[in-house]
Amino acid sequence: MNNTKDHRGVINVLSLLLALFLIKEYYTLFDQRNVKNIYRLLHVHNPLFTCVIFVLIGTRSILLYARTNLPCLIVSEIIIYYLIYTQTHGIVSCNTTLLSMINFMKLYSFIFETTNCGKTVEHVMENGSSSATRSVDHSRNVQRTEEKQDDVPPEIELTYFIRFLFLPTLCFSDAARRRKRSVPALFHNLLMACIFFLLANFLVAFYIVPLLEQHTVFDFLTDISVFVRVSATSFIFWIAMFLFFFKYYLSFLAECTNYENKIFGEWWNAQYFRDFWRLWNIPTHDWLRRYVFAPFYLLFKSKWLSSLVVFIISGVLHEIVYILTFKKIGVVVFMSILSQFLFIYLEHALFGPGNLLFWFLFCFIGQPIFLLSLRKKILSVVSIKV
């Protein structure tokens, strides 16, 4: 009897059948009248204050370069959040919040690395806490995060600092990494970023908004056709956004700035949720590892407690984006992030490693239910009352 473990042909056929099924479904659901949702999504309600926010972020960066001051950084971030909350709306609120938050994390890293704090944490990460490093980088196959960080220049020029602000990294100690620019890759990444950005907005306007208008969480759990439509649409949208931002937009920035770094790992092969959170967004993971986990490990001497603090701070940051986008205070996003911490520590005991289980729970159960649970708030962004 001839046995084989190579099932790539079968997988290709099933993938083709699934693609044909989805094309048929989306062709049936398409309604050209939903084009109005694109305008509602991308419309800037208060362009003046949006420009003010950009100016504040840029001014803050230059002032903190001239004189590093952590309290001023925190106060300026609160002021910017207040302006976003009161003067912007919808997708613009979300994007400006993320921009300000990224800038805040970069400036915090700059302040941290240009003081003695950076040297202290470097010592902890490299010499005094090998177990702490293993707890965050457990089973990581890449060696990049285990290597010594590049030294921060003793005298930082303004051009070096400005380049760091546009690098696809949040850690100032990574800014010295350089490589030769590829002009064809630069234009390729820009083109693909535009394509996937348009695709993501097309999916929201023509499919996600209509699905949220028509269905609830109960429909998703009781009707198999609704389950397939919502799961597939939310998954494709998530992949489109990932490709737009991490694969192509950040790669475009890397080409523009001659920067060499790994932005994401092979999270699609994750056996556990721990692997996914470690690999899908390496810049944020490295920032949390260096500026949250390592200092708290130095304080508590506990991997478990330090990891809990990381997830709490991550949950708070996600909750801020939620509040400023939907103009409502809640704990839905915070609790969903915090639950990941509990699940990471329980999944080894409750489940065996399984990539199929990861995909099913994360993309075909978790994401659609989370999306439908926020349906009223999401529809309010495009001015639809339910």
Catalytic residues: 318
70 contact partners, CB below 8 Å, separation of at least 6? 108, 111
3-state secondary structure the chain: CCCCCCCHHHHHHHHHHHHHHHHHHHHHHCCHHHHHHHHHHHCCCCHHHHHHHHHHHHHHHHHHHHCCCHHHHHHHHHHHHHHHHHHCCHHHHHHHHHHHHHHHHHHHHHHHHCCHHHHHHHHHHHHHCHHHHHHHCCCCCCCHHHCCCCCCCCCCCHHHHHHHHHCCCCCHHHCCCCCCCCHHHHHHHHHHHHHHHHHHHHHHHHHHHHHHHHCCHHHHHHCHHHHHHHHHHHHHHHHHHHHHHHHHHHHHHHHHCCCCCCCCCCHHHCCCHHHHHHHCCHHHHHHHHHHHHHHHHHHHCCHHHHHHHHHHHHHHHHHHHHHHHHCCCCCHHHHHHHHHHHHHHHHHHHCCCCHHHHHHHHHHHHHHHHHHHCHHHHHHHCCCCC
Q: How far apart are CA 207 and CA 183, in angstroms?
A: 36
φ and ψ at residue 319, rounded to 5 degrees: -65, -35
Nearest to 146 by CA among 254, 278, 305: 278
> Is residue 287 a contact partner of residue 170, using CB atoms and an 8 Å limit?
yes
Tokens of 91: 């997708």
> Is residue 165 a contact partner of residue 59, using CB atoms and an 8 Å limit?
no
